Structure 1
Amino acid sequence: MRFLKSLIAFIFVLTVLATAAGLGGWIWFNDQVSRPGPLMVPTEFTVDRGEGLASVAAKLEAEGIIKRRQLLQLKARIDETETAIKAGTYAIPAGVSIVSLLDQLVEGEVIQLRLTIPEGLTTAQILRRVEAADVLSGDMPEREIGEGVLLPDTYVFGTGTTREQFISRMETAQDRLLERLWEERQEGLPLQTPYEAVTLASVVEKETGIDGERGKVAGLFVGRLKKGMRLESDPTIIYGVSQGEPLYNRQGQRRTLYRSEIDRKTDWNTYQIDGLPKTPICNPGRDAIEAVLNPPDTDYVFFVADGKGGHLFAKTYEEHQRNVAKYREFERQEIARERGN
């Protein structure tokens, strides 16, 4: 009986010691994964697509971001996040703990880069911007990219995005937008295909960058097409002359159109051809595309610049001529003011 009591006491002591050891180990483990790590300065770290936890942990240890890869792997196993780490490039703060680091990798808090492509640029102008963007990597695509197939927008992407991927994303965004807007288009439009919608939208985009005018200009142009009238848009002349590049005189100054250019027949000059230009004359934004596919009803047939960034609209040719006279007078006053200075 005395032996049995001693045995029970001995087992009890072993259990207490084991529990204490286990508790001590657990406390030590939590302290190790929660304390600041060895990283002395902020750095970037990339998790490649398809890369496993063991490889990520080994790289983190090799780059001095953590001390022991085994601790990170054990913590991920305990949290059941071994397969939850997301690919991308991360901004790792100095002294990051294993706990914080794992949270960052699981949440996918990757570095976000931005590139804005404004509305109204030609494809050649967009490609030059993409080529010059140091936030992108890789070579430019060798394939031909048509006019009007890229959707202007502000794009957010991760480090390592290539120029080919960025351009493909713009093309896909344009395709998806057109697919949706074409299905929702107004009935009775003088447009047979989504491509024609983009072509007209590109003319609207080049005529006005004012949000409140896009619908009015789109409605006016749609009305002209329905009546069999020519669009008579100056930007279409410019595209036929220079493929949308600015025009300069011999002194290197920006200039307006010459009469010879207005009279020259090209596949884009809507003063000389019926209907739409041969191709879009730029890459229009979503607002311009929406405007031509759902234009407001309008009786306006003519418009001319007001010299202040907007336009003067008219329902008759006589009213239009008065607006043109107003613009010419504004121009004369501006020239006189400049000479006076």
Structure 2
Amino acid sequence: MYIKKILLTIVLLGLIAGGAFAYLIYNALFSPNTAFNNEEAYIYITTGSSYDDLKGLITPLLSDIETFEAVAKQKKYIDYIKPGKYILKKGMNNNEIINTLRSNNIPVNVSFNNQETFEKLAGRVAGQIEADSISLLKSFTDSQFLQENGFTAETSLSLFIPNSYEFFWNTSATDFRDRMLKEYLRFWNKERLRKAEALNLSQIQVISLASIVQKETAKVTERPRVAGLYLNRLKKNMLLQADPTVIYALKRELGNFDTIIKRVLYKDLELNSPYNTYKYAGIPPGPITMPDISSIDAVLNPEKHDYYYMVADVEDFGYHKFAKDLSQHNRNKTQYIRWINEQNINR
């Protein structure tokens, strides 16, 4: 009888201990373990991070780091830390958190606009993915990569089509660049290639001309007309005489693309640069900025007209006045020069 009581007591204690242990396990796995007040918190895990690195990042977001660590060890997550951007939701338990960190690397939208240099592009992109600006710049200017894909230092800007693209945050510099090449090749579909061929222009020439259109007008609706004007001049073997190319040449000569130039002077037109379209015929050797898709498509789908000249319209700012002959253009130009002098814009 006495032995039976002892055995029963042992069994009961075992059940209690087992229940307590099961409760602890359940609590560690499935009880909420977030300490932030917002509905979501983002965590960025860099490439090559150790568990200690992760622990430093996640501790402020959790109510109990010890239970998290116990579950992480049990699920063998500690030895397989994956880089990326992750979203933790308020009220998540340790099991959900670890499953998220293991498999729910979320993409980010990377966007860039009309950059004039790779330095500026690298800085813009580095603020949106893990890769730093130095590694990005190195990948953009890799001479072997450019040569293998038919680009030169002058034409390489045309590889990057401004837009918004989906990437994983932990994308490397070379992976970003290689993806841009794929997007470039995808952009130049059969229809666009056909239109470029009909204009007797290469892809690089289309983008280079589009970069001038981009700089000439911010008005998307006006871009096909501006593109048509430059194409008219090319057909007549006329100099393009585009002020933005002179401004680009001046900045390139100075080695400072942050220089602000609001007015092109007559002396600037004598600058000896292949980008100076007042001095050199044809399309410049490469783009003067990364043109929008709207500017590229404006060149491929130009407005048909007989305009050869244009000047900024001081009565409808942002737009231009177009002329078919020099006499009309000079009248429009006189009005513009009078206005710019009144504004006291000397440079």
| TM-score for both structures, normalised by structure 2 | 0.66
Question: Are the structure 2 counterparts of residues 124 and 311 from structure 1 closer, same or farther at C-alpha, using a change threshold of 3 Å?
Answer: farther
1:222 counterpart residue number: 231
Structure 2: stretches of 5+ with no match in the other structure: 1-20, 60-64, 76-80, 144-152
What is the aligned counterpart of 2:338 among 320, 326, 329? Answer: 329
Listed one character per residue, the Cα deviations across residues 198-254 of structure 1 (whole Å, up to 9, x for unaligned) are: 111111112112111111111111122122222111122223333287989xxx974
The residue aligned with 1:182 is 192
SS at match of 1:182: helix
Deviates more, 1:97-106 or 1:170-179: 97-106
Q: Which residue of 1 aligns with 2:118?
A: 123
| 2:316 is aligned with 1:305 | no
Cα distance in 2 between the residues matched to 1:137 and 1:183: 34
Task: Choose from 279, 285, 294 the match for 1:287.
Answer: 294
Alignment pair present for 1:96 and 2:105: no
Contact kept in structure 1, 2:30 and 2:93, CA below 8 Å: yes
1:324 Cα deviation after fit: 1.0
RMSD of the TM alignment (CA)? 4.7
- Structure whose CA Rg is larger: 1
| 2:160 equivalent among 150, 169, 172 | 150
CA contact (8 A) 1:220 1:302 kept: yes
More off after superposition, 92-101 vs 38-47: 38-47
Cα distance between partner residues in 2 of 1:47 and 1:266 = 44
Contact 1:119 1:284 in 2 (8 A): yes
CA contact (8 A) 2:224 2:303 kept: yes
Stretch of structure 1 that moved more, 91-100 or 283-292: 91-100
- C-alpha contact 2:129 2:169 (8 A) present in aligned 1: no
Q: Is the 8 A contact 1:91 1:111 kept in 2?
A: no
Instruction: Summarize the Cα distance change of 1:104–1:68 in structure 2 as closer, same or farther, 3 Å threshold.
Output: closer
Cα 1:99–1:257 change in 2 (3 A) is same
Deviation of the 1:267 alpha carbon: 1.5
What is the CA–CA distance in structure 2 between the aligned matches of 1:254 and 1:240, rounded to whole Å?
A: 11
Task: Kindly provide the amino acid, as one letter, of the partner of residue 259 in structure 1.
Answer: Y
Instruction: Evaluate the alpha carbon distance shift between residue 73 and residue 221 of structure 1 in structure 2; reply closer, same or farther with a 3 A threshold.
Output: same
Question: What SS is found at the alignment partner of 2:343?
Answer: helix
2:67 paired with 1:67:
yes
Deviates more, 1:135-144 or 1:256-265: 135-144
Aligned-residue offset at 1:304: 0.7
Task: State the alpha-carbon separation in 2 of the partners of residues 98 and 331 from structure 1.
Answer: 66
| Cα contact 2:46–2:130 (8 A) shared by 1 | no
- In 2, the alpha carbon distance for the partners of 1:47 and 1:124 equals 23
Question: How far apart are residue 292 of structure 1 and its match?
Answer: 1.0
Within the candidate set 268, 276, 289, 1:269 is matched to 276
The 3 A distance-change label for structure 1 pair 143 and 210 is same
What is the CA-CA distance between 1:189 and the residue it aligns to?
0.7
Displacement, 1:153?
2.5
Deviation of residue 91 (structure 1)? Answer: 3.1
Gaps of 5+ in 1: 1-24, 50-54, 77-84
Equivalents in 2 of 1:127, 1:139: separation in Å? 7
Partner of 1:44: 43
TM-score by length of 1: 0.67
The superposition leaves residues 270-310 of structure 1 with CA deviations (integer Å, 9 ceiling, x where unpaired) of 22222211222222121111111222212222111124222
Alignment-derived partner of residue 13 in structure 1: none
Report the equivalent of 1:22: none
The alignment partner of 2:159 has SS state of coil
Which moves more between the two structures, 129-138 or 195-204?
129-138
Contact 2:45 2:82 in 1 (8 A): no
Q: Which moved more, 1:316-325 or 1:165-174?
A: 165-174
Structure 1 counterpart of 2:192, one-letter code = W
C-alpha separation between the residues in 2 aligned to 1:287 and 1:334? 31
Contact 1:203 1:235 in 2 (8 A): yes
Q: What secondary structure does 1:289 align onto? A: helix
SS for the counterpart of 1:288 is: helix
1:198 aligns with 2:207: yes
> Residues 212 and 98 from structure 1, CA distance in 2 versus in 1: closer, same or farther, beyond 3 angstroms?
same
Say whether the 8 Å CA contact 1:33–1:72 is kept in structure 2.
Answer: no
For 2:12, the equivalent position in structure 1 comes to none
Describe the shift of the 1:294–1:86 C-alpha distance in structure 2 as closer, same or farther (beyond 3 A). farther
Alpha-carbon distance, 1:120 to partner? 5.2
1:315, distance to aligned residue in structure 2 (A): 2.0
